[in-house]
Amino acid sequence: MAIFAGGVLGVGLGALREMIDRRFRTREQVRSVLATECLALVPLIADRKRFFSGRRSLALPPASRAQLGARIGTAARNIYSAQKVMRTIIDAPSSHYAEAVRSIKLSVDLNSQANNAIIGLTSCLPSEGKSSLAAAMATLIAQGGARVILVDCDVRRPSLSRALAPDASAGFLDVVAGKLDLADAIWTDPATGMSFLPVGGPAVPHATEILASDDAKVFFSTLQVRYDYVIVDLAPLVAGVDVRASSRFVDSYVLVIEWGVTTVDAVQYALRHAPGVQANIVGAVLNKVNVAAMSRYDRYGAAYYHAGIRTS
């Protein structure tokens, strides 16, 4: 009787824990709670933190570099590669990670109202992986031959700028303010031809005003003419005013949610205070998915990933 009672109690506690667990774990949760599509389940990459360390420059032969510079109309400021994120896209284009990023890009293409879309990636909270996904998406698009520019507009925590162009002394804020020409601020990935525009130099007190200005809107209209895709890494929704300012120039948003960490209540609260994002959201992405644990919540999704692992 004691063993039976203990088993019942354990099962009951487990079921209760699942019922009160308000973290995002399945596609169905995203659809039912947020009334939007779940664009992809992006698996966790081992040593993901190395995206922000261990940088190394991608090198090409001089002839190839010259051809690439002529094609994109700018020279020679080479960004640093992310060893686990961008390199996964380049070296393993058939991996589950690359396929998930490809699914995001396809969904944006199908939902975009314009041929030259400005796509903003944001999240509810910091450190959910929006910056690494923005870099991966821009890398994948550039690898396909399209003209793409990745713009770091997270003016408070410019993690992309620190990772890809740590030596940049000027960037987006300087160009919009008229202090610098765009051609003098762009950095380039020699491996794919992707352009990157860092935030700029030291923190600017009125950066939010620059984001919300008419000059910023005109600037992004110019980028639409020059590039096929403009990928924008935005501040998290908790930053509030920074993301609301971006609604003047961003066509569509992709919401990045950390799997098993971010709560339903936090996302709902953040979206209520960012109506411009909620009205133009293409869909959400469940990021950093633990494939081994996912089978407890999404059996069919887990089966897809495990099948790929067995056959690889």
**Per residue in 242-286, pLDDT tens?**
888 888 899 899 999 999 999 999 999 999 988 888 889 999 999
Mean local confidence (pLDDT), 150-167: 91
Q: Is residue 189 part of a domain?
A: yes
Tokens representing residue 88 in the block: 């996964």
Domain that holds residue 169: 23-311
Tokens representing residue 52 in the block: 């922000």
CATH of the domain at 70: 3.40.50.300
Q: Is residue 180 part of a domain?
A: yes
For the chain, list the strands marked E by DSSP. 38-43, 56-57, 80-81, 117-123, 148-152, 187-188, 195-197, 229-233, 252-258, 281-289
Q: Shortest CA distance to 89 belongs to which of 31, 136, 37?
A: 136
Residues with Cβ within 8 Å of residue 205, at least 6 apart in sequence: none
Considering the chain, what percentage of its residues have pLDDT values greater than 70?
Answer: 76
Q: Is residue 194 part of a domain?
A: yes
Q: Is residue 157 part of a domain?
A: yes
Assess whether pLDDT exceeds 70 at residue 154. yes
Assess whether pLDDT exceeds 50 at residue 71. no
Q: Is residue 188 part of a domain?
A: yes
Distances from the Cα of 284 to the Cα of 144, 169, 280, angstroms: 23, 33, 12
Per residue in 190-218, is it b (16+ CB within 10 Å) or e — as a string? bbbbbbbbbbbeeeeeebbebbbbeebee
Q: Is residue 16 part of a domain?
A: no
Pairwise CA distance, residues 52 & 57, whole Å: 14
Q: Is residue 78 part of a domain?
A: yes
Which residue has tokens 């109202």? 113
User: Pick the residue with more confidence: 227 or 297?
Assistant: 227
Q: Indicate the number of domains in the chain.
A: 1
Mean local confidence (pLDDT), 141-154: 95
Residues with Cβ within 8 Å of residue 221, at least 6 apart in sequence: 249
Q: Is residue 12 part of a domain?
A: no
Q: Is residue 142 very low, low, confident or very high in pLDDT (cuts 50, 70, 90)?
A: very high
Assess whether pLDDT exceeds 70 at residue 34. yes
Mean local confidence (pLDDT), 217-228: 94
Pairwise CA distance, residues 257 & 95, whole Å: 21
Q: What is the length of the chain? A: 312
- If you average pLDDT over every residue of the chain, what do you get? 81
Pairwise CA distance, residues 154 & 147, whole Å: 22
Which of 4-13, 164-173, 253-262, 288-297 has the least mean pLDDT? 4-13
